[in-house]
Amino acid sequence: MKKIYNFNAGPSMLPKEVLLKAKKDLLNWNNLGVSIMEISHRSLDFITLTNKIEKNLISLLNIPKSYKILFSPGGARGQFSAIPTNILNNWNNTSDYIVGGYWSNEAFLESQKYCFSNKINIRKNFYQKQKILSMKNWKLNKDSKYVHYCPNETIEGIEIFEDPISENFNNKIIVGDFSSTILSKPINIKYYDIIYAGVQKNIGPPGITLIIIKKNLFKKNKITPSILYYKNLLKYDSMFNTPVTFSWYLSGLVIKWLKKKGGLKKINIINHKKANLLYNYIDKSDFYFNNIHKNNRSLLNITFNIINPFLNNFFLKESKFLGFLSLKGHNLIGGIRASIYNAMPIKGVKKLITFMKYFKKKYG
Ligand SMILES: *Cc1c(COP(=O)(O)O)cnc(C)c1O
């Protein structure tokens, strides 16, 4: 079989070592003679596993004691409804939704079912490049209870590198959708009240959703669906309904793999290296271009186009034929997107650049 490099945005590529371990475990996990998918989530074996995963996650992300880790069903989109219903106890409360791309806008749209939400657009066109306003210029509303934003817009390839520490955030509950950037770098958890992420981008296979939440936010209410109700997830150790055990288990293997690789500081250096290689090549070519301002270029979702747009389709066809999977940009914006999460080795990025050079030579 030819060597495949998988650039899918999510579900995304997993480390080979992890898949080999899962393969080994598949018919006989933990010496039980069966797979992890066939045992009770309430068994001692499984609970021992989830406790270990929690410990590893706490040490990897350096999560303070004042926070709790939950795993929820429903993906990141489930959290779009869970956030307003869990945090606000009154329909008349308001929230601020910072919109810099598709996913933050989707979160805003869903929240409107549950509260008055203000949409605050932070994306600007700056000499034909997309740029994000700096945080101190985000015009938050005085009486909003929480502010929601997305540090990495997976579809557009826009990342916000600032921490939410400017004065305008004072006294607000700060919520971040970290779905596509979690575990790619160290996070100052203490600057946030709630961090959530669907695991299928940078943690594991689709299924569970990670929530890191400040302990003082478990509030009683009568409207949140029970499976998304934080107090309930807490009470049942994230097992109110049957959790997606395989996703949980495999995410645990990836977390262990990441610790072994040297943790988040180390992986962040590698992620910078990979992204720089690709952006540098795109910038100096007179054939490809990226339209995101340098301050906001995503390290993990790299979007670009060919100056002659008719060539995009040829690029996608030829690259696929040669083993570069899923380079097609999201349907909403078209073009090309290379998602290079933690599991993508530097070699994969170098190979992609080699292909890009070859393609340019052929058609440029
Ligand atoms: C993929 C993604 C989502 C949606 O995730 P689901 O788990 O499919 O609901 C939401 N936000 C961001 C930033 C994403 O990348």
| Cβ neighbours around 29 below 10 Å, total | 20
- Through-space distance between the first and last CA atoms of the chain, rounded to whole angstroms: 30
CA distance to 22, 67, 112, 194, per residue, from 92 (Å): 48, 28, 11, 21
Do 62 and 77 contact (CB within 8 A), yes or no? no
Domain ranges, ordered by start, for the chain: 27-260, 263-363
Q: Is the CB of 350 under 6 A from ligand 1?
A: no
**Does the domain at residues 27-260 carry the CATH identifier 3.40.50.300?**
no
Do 3 and 323 contact (CB within 8 A), yes or no? yes
Name the residue of 77, 97, 106, 182 whose CB sits within 8 Å of the most ligand 1 atoms, as the mutation to test its pocket.
77
Q: Is the CB of 330 under 6 A from ligand 1?
A: no
Q: Is the CB of 259 under 6 A from ligand 1?
A: no
Do 207 and 249 contact (CB within 8 A), yes or no? no
Q: Tell which atom from ligand 1 comes closest to the C-alpha of 154.
A: 15
Do 39 and 46 contact (CB within 8 A), yes or no? yes
CA–CA distance, 133 with 131 (Å, rounded to integer): 7
- Residue whose CA is at the smallest distance from ligand 1 atom 2: 179
Measured in Å, residue 275 CA sits from the centre of ligand 1 at 21
What pLDDT shows up at residue 1?
A: 76
User: CA quadruple 84, 85, 89, 92: dihedral positive or negative?
Assistant: positive
Measured in Å, residue 354 CA sits from the centre of ligand 1 at 31
Per-residue DSSP letter, 309 = G
Q: Is the CB of 198 under 6 A from ligand 1?
A: yes
Q: What is the pLDDT along the chain (364 residues), one digit of tens a residue?
A: 789 999 999 999 999 999 999 999 999 999 999 999 999 999 999 999 999 999 999 999 999 999 999 999 999 999 999 999 999 977 788 999 999 999 999 999 999 999 999 999 999 999 899 999 999 999 999 999 999 999 999 999 999 999 999 999 999 999 999 999 999 999 999 999 999 999 999 999 999 999 999 999 999 999 999 999 999 999 999 999 999 999 999 999 999 999 999 999 999 999 999 999 999 999 999 999 999 999 999 999 999 999 999 999 999 999 999 999 999 999 999 999 999 999 999 999 999 999 999 999 999 8
What pLDDT shows up at residue 113?
A: 93
Q: Is the CB of 15 under 6 A from ligand 1?
A: no
What pLDDT shows up at residue 90?
A: 75
Q: Is the CB of 180 under 6 A from ligand 1?
A: yes
Name the residue of 103, 110, 182, 200 whose CB sits within 8 Å of the most ligand 1 atoms, as the mutation to test its pocket.
103
Cite the active site residues.
103, 177, 201
What pLDDT shows up at residue 89?
A: 75
Three-state secondary structure call for residue 134: coil
Measured in Å, residue 80 CA sits from the centre of ligand 1 at 10
CA–CA distance, 86 with 80 (Å, rounded to integer): 11
Q: Taking the model in full, what pTM does it have?
A: 0.98
Do 153 and 103 contact (CB within 8 A), yes or no? yes
Three-state secondary structure call for residue 159: strand
Three-state secondary structure call for residue 196: strand
| CATH class for the region spanning 263-363 | alpha beta
Q: Is the CB of 10 under 6 A from ligand 1?
A: yes
Contacts by 32-38 with C-beta closer than 8 Å and gap 24+?
Answer: 36/245, 36/246, 36/249, 37/245, 37/246
User: CA quadruple 118, 124, 130, 136: dihedral positive or negative?
Assistant: negative
CA–CA distance, 271 with 279 (Å, rounded to integer): 12
CA–CA distance, 222 with 86 (Å, rounded to integer): 9
